Structure 1
């Protein structure tokens, strides 16, 4: 990529630009940069400095981040100063150091003008909030996460243009723009689709593939919006045991999650509802989701698995409520995600449960110590055992203390339900039987209904199971990327 220039070569570019009289003074330089921005079809952001050398160095940094920008600047200077030897020297240096981009000038400007149009019809920048998911879909899991500051979709397009074609020979930029067209809708979608179709033809890509992908809207059935998952991980801080490093992702369907929050500051548990409230009300990708349905998942270390997160209060537009009566709330095991040795059993049991979710047997344990640990592990290791119900909470002790809950996780059980305050065995057996009947893939929503029942109607009150139920619903097909082994590029 062009951004891989070493310091010496970048300094050569800076010196070559400063040798051009019209580029050595900021006031005159601004005239040519304004012309460059019109040629590119977007703003060229960079931090300006009072010293000419530093200012031009920052300008070169910006030029290197946008494919074709340096070549466009040379063309503009050649128009203004056709006989300048210093401009000719810059042209030769740019040709030596920077490869010609695969998009030509007119196609690139057209794309950036379409992106500008999209941003104008979407003043809330909801599409900018969704770009990490579209970016990851375009580049695949083998590419690293974004390490460049992203101010607009123009930055994303510039970054993707530098990336080589994928296994099918399709440039990631075309995949990104075609998916963006699907997200954008009318009136920008047809123009974006037409741009991709023309680029596919120019690049000699499989026309049939793109014709299927861009069939007319009226000929295609509009797909149902995918389920949304707001995933919040609380990782123990190494220095303060009562504080946690919190990471939040939004995942749409089975797509890779896009990171919403990755704080370096360790937070106490009391601050997590505040963060959750901010995500639900202010994060553009959460607020702008196409499907209103949202499941909230907490990825927790063992000492926090019993914390009543679904009972945490948030305030939206002045209305305060428990998140567990508005959204399905489940927990997931951080320790199991970090323990690769148990992942094969976990994946196998989740796959089995996905195909037998209506008639899956439930292992019910009503008393602590009812099974020996090895006996319980042996029982849960049977292929058909994928659901565990416990009438009692986990031990509140150290991470390495073995209890029935941890045995279930080690055995790969993906669904575990328990009562946090302990329960009369017979009463819990009756209550959980109704909860775990029917299709277990709908269990998070049935738990939502149970929590709502605890606050209304007959039987509501402090003793209702809905106020004391923890549901671990651990989808082995949706593991956040930090815990997935990356595959090499194809």
Structure 2
């Protein structure tokens, strides 16, 4: 059997992409082909042209399409992405991404034979271990694994396409180094030496011998060292727009200690009654992804007006357990405004107030709205004093209350980032709690004091917490510097 040259490997990869594409349900239909070609042209630019499918064999036309994509910069990734717009994370799409990553890895390592690495890397299948090793290898720039990265082999291929500074060890080679460390600890020294030998050869060819030698001393967050920067799970509930009882649930995960890089998850449609169960499943899946994470976790609900009166902070996880756990027991939970995120005209005052809140907390203060006040004059007074960063609402936002809606909108127009209200109408008890929560005017004080009042309610247990004001506190805290980013396309109805 002849040597597998780089040209032969590339031809084999293109043939594999063609086989996978030919099995795609999307590409077997003309309407699907037209959509994918339209998206490909938009992403790759008008300079890339594709042959129109004629009456010839489908596989032959597919092969021409694949070769056209391969000739374009990152064209195979674009192909996987465009098919994914229709199929989400189908087996076809995951297979296309794996092949696209291997194509990039073959190009990155040029004439090097990658396949001797495959058996040992494929033997590493623990998602939490792979995530931990990937974070180390990428200096925490890669926080989560892609859906198609099931083994160390797929992770290695994926990292081969990531950029690094000229004198920095490429992430794929750094990954081999940390995998070798793990193998030695696991008693697999022979396999570790195979990876190191291959890595040393690449380092010599690329002039990275010093970078390889200095890898162990390189500065990065050591594994197991907890970060003080919280991780965030953003959960957005967007009204369907047609069916008033249905909502699209989108979410983003953010655990990057070095910056705000939220990762969008799947978007699904649910009936309102099924939302608590959907959130429970989402949190369980997120906790599985974050099994090795030692950062504190904050849950932020991005809610439309009609759900602000819903006690989402007290929805439970592990609903099928004999005693479910209220979210506020395990997480700091705050609300955000879906309406404000979508209304760009409200963002300038919002940004200005947030800077006041963050940069000059000692000069920031709260304002109490009155039940019989005018929404017009409330907005005027808020806008006249740029030190107001928190508004205590006179009543809970309710869909059947016009004054409550006007009060809420006045706060959003004025850019107030923090809103506090009582869902139960407990009067004096709420005023006492609110006065304590807003006392120091700072961001940390709001979160800590709200958590303390909720913990007091938790201490009473399910049989007594409804009578405590902490059970009914709602805190909306909108940070304009932490926007969720685009959501994934909706993929249909979620499971009840």
Q: What band does the TM-score fall into relative to the shorter chain?
A: 0.5 to 0.7
Give the Å deviation of 1:358: 5.5
My pick for the range that moved more, 126-135 or 415-424, is: 126-135
Give the Å deviation of 1:435: 1.8
Q: Secondary structure at the match of 1:447?
A: helix
Counterpart CA distance in 2 for 1:156 and 1:218 is: 20
My pick for the range that moved more, 397-406 or 270-279, is: 397-406
Give the Å deviation of 1:468: 1.2
Question: CA 1:300 to 1:127, structure 2 compared with 1: closer, same or farther past 3 Å?
Answer: farther
Counterpart CA distance in 2 for 1:194 and 1:349 is: 56
Q: Secondary structure at the match of 2:459?
A: coil
- 1:291 aligned residue: 294
Give the Å deviation of 1:463: 3.5
Is 1:449 paired with 2:455?
A: no
Is 1:238 paired with 2:241?
A: yes
- 1:88 aligned residue: none
Counterpart CA distance in 1 for 2:153 and 2:309 is: 45
Is 1:343 paired with 2:347?
A: yes
Question: CA 1:273 to 1:467, structure 2 compared with 1: closer, same or farther past 3 Å?
Answer: same
Q: Secondary structure at the match of 1:67?
A: helix
Question: CA 1:476 to 1:158, structure 2 compared with 1: closer, same or farther past 3 Å?
Answer: same
Larger radius of gyration: 1
Q: How many residues align?
A: 393
- 1:67 aligned residue: 103
Q: Secondary structure at the match of 1:386?
A: strand
How do 1:45-444 residues align onto structure 2 when only pairs under 5 Å count?
A: 66-67=102-103, 101-106=107-112, 108-109=114-115, 112=118, 115-116=121-122, 118-119=124-125, 122=126, 124-125=127-128, 127=130, 151-152=150-151, 154-155=153-154, 157-159=156-158, 161-162=160-161, 165=163, 174-175=170-171, 178=174, 187=182, 203=206, 215=217, 223-225=225-227, 226-252=229-255, 253=257, 254-263=259-268, 266-283=269-286, 285-291=288-294, 293-315=296-318, 318-357=322-361, 360-365=364-369, 367-380=370-383, 382-397=385-400, 402-424=405-427, 427-438=429-440, 439-444=442-447
Q: Secondary structure at the match of 2:324?
A: strand
TM-score between both structures, scaled by the size of structure 2:
0.63
Question: CA 1:228 to 1:13, structure 2 compared with 1: closer, same or farther past 3 Å?
Answer: closer
Give the Å deviation of 1:294: 1.9
Question: CA 1:235 to 1:203, structure 2 compared with 1: closer, same or farther past 3 Å?
Answer: farther
Task: Report if the CA contact (8 A) 1:314-1:322 is conserved.
Answer: yes
Q: Secondary structure at the match of 2:479?
A: coil
Q: Secondary structure at the match of 1:291?
A: coil
Is 1:479 paired with 2:474?
A: no
- 2:31 aligned residue: none
Question: CA 1:180 to 1:290, structure 2 compared with 1: closer, same or farther past 3 Å?
Answer: farther
Counterpart CA distance in 2 for 1:136 and 1:311 is: 36
Question: CA 1:217 to 1:372, structure 2 compared with 1: closer, same or farther past 3 Å?
Answer: closer
TM-score between both structures, scaled by the size of structure 1:
0.63
Counterpart CA distance in 1 for 2:325 and 2:453 is: 16
Task: Report if the CA contact (8 A) 1:14-1:60 is conserved.
Answer: no
Give the Å deviation of 1:112: 4.9
Give the Å deviation of 1:246: 0.5
Task: Report if the CA contact (8 A) 2:316-2:324 is conserved.
Answer: yes
Gaps of 5+ in 1: 16-57, 70-99, 484-490
Counterpart CA distance in 2 for 1:358 and 1:342 is: 25
Question: CA 1:482 to 1:280, structure 2 compared with 1: closer, same or farther past 3 Å?
Answer: closer
Task: Report if the CA contact (8 A) 1:234-1:247 is conserved.
Answer: yes
Gaps of 5+ in 2: 1-9, 18-43, 65-93, 186-191, 488-496
Question: CA 1:221 to 1:231, structure 2 compared with 1: closer, same or farther past 3 Å?
Answer: closer
Task: Report if the CA contact (8 A) 2:173-2:199 is conserved.
Answer: yes
Q: Secondary structure at the match of 1:319?
A: coil
Task: Report if the CA contact (8 A) 1:243-1:267 is conserved.
Answer: yes
